[in-house]
Amino acid sequence: MFAVKHRKKFFIISGLMLLCAYILMLTWGFNIGTDFKGGSIVEVNYENGLPTKSDLESVLADLDIGSISVRVTGESGFIVRTRDLSLAEQELLKDKLNISGSYPYTLVRSNSVGPLIGQELTDKAILAIFAIIVITIFFIAYTFRHVSRPVSSWHYGLVSIIALVHDISIPAGVAVVLGKFYGMEIDALFITALLSLLGYSINDTIIIFDRIRENLKHNKENNLHESFEETVGKSLSQTYGRSINTSLTVFLVLISLFVFGGATIKFFILTLIIGTIAGAYSSIFLAAPLLVSINNRRK
């Protein structure tokens, strides 16, 4: 009953987090990566010593290829991002990266994404997220169609979407901060992380909703006169352990990947970690208590 009894406090906490996230998105904006705006990316690992970032930027400044972004990755590498380069320009860039042969390196990756492909990826990413939201509403409304009292089955679907928006907005807000100060870019991996969080978060929320449905059915069959608020509180108490244990297991795995994984997936794993925490919070302290508030307002 704790989450239900103090639901207004948790609503305020969620509202403040969402407000901060959207303010950051509107003021600072995302650091859009090459995957979506187009351009070339070259990642290298230096074998015998690492040049300074300023030295590398000074050498690359001699190239007539527009603005260049240089970012350190790992302990011995750099990621260089530019506009979309021709093959000849890419080879010229690679020649410059060894700084006149003083710093031999190993090429990790070299990709080029045209602006048309970047726009296509952007459109497909937006479409994928929108499709998941619409499908989720109809699926949950259909699944809970036999539990239309005291709260309509459509409300279960809408509440689930509110929780999903919460769960992807928090990591998105953090991504803005990381992009501002640490160079994190919004790329295909970030979208993959958000889509993964949508699936994980909705699963945890449905488990709690399903327990509410079972308790409502049990009350009806046994002619138990229990308020909806009490039923939701009891359902949450019965699923606390499972929700926390599931989230904790995923969290520990992600922490291991973050610590021991490669530098190229650091931000991807960090997004999943933040989203997992937000999803565990919203399933317990936001989604189910919202059903109680909807029922009270309806009455």
**What 8-state DSSP symbol labels residue 9?**
H
Which residues, 6+ apart, have CB-to-CB distance to 113 below 8 Å?
34, 35, 38, 39, 40, 41, 84
Residue 210: closest CA among 287, 129, 299, 275: 287
Rounded distance between C-alpha atoms, residue 200 and residue 297, angstroms: 30
State the CB neighbour count (10 A cutoff) for residue 257: 17
Nearest to 152 by CA among 50, 295, 30: 295
Q: Give me the pLDDT at residue 1, please.
A: 62
What residue segments make up the domains of the chain, in order of their start? 2-33+117-298, 39-113
Chosen CATH of 39-113 out of 3.40.50.720, 3.30.70.20, 3.30.530.20, 3.30.70.3400: 3.30.70.3400
CATH number for 2-33+117-298: choose from 1.20.1640.10, 1.10.3720.10, 3.30.420.40, 1.10.940.10. 1.20.1640.10
CA 174 to chain centre: 9
Please check whether the two domains, 2-33+117-298 and 39-113, share a CATH topology: no
Q: What was the pLDDT predicted at 16?
A: 96
In the chain (299 residues long), the average pLDDT of successive 10-residue segments reads 83 95 94 79 86 85 80 82 82 86 86 70 80 82 74 84 92 93 85 86 86 86 83 88 87 92 84 93 91 81
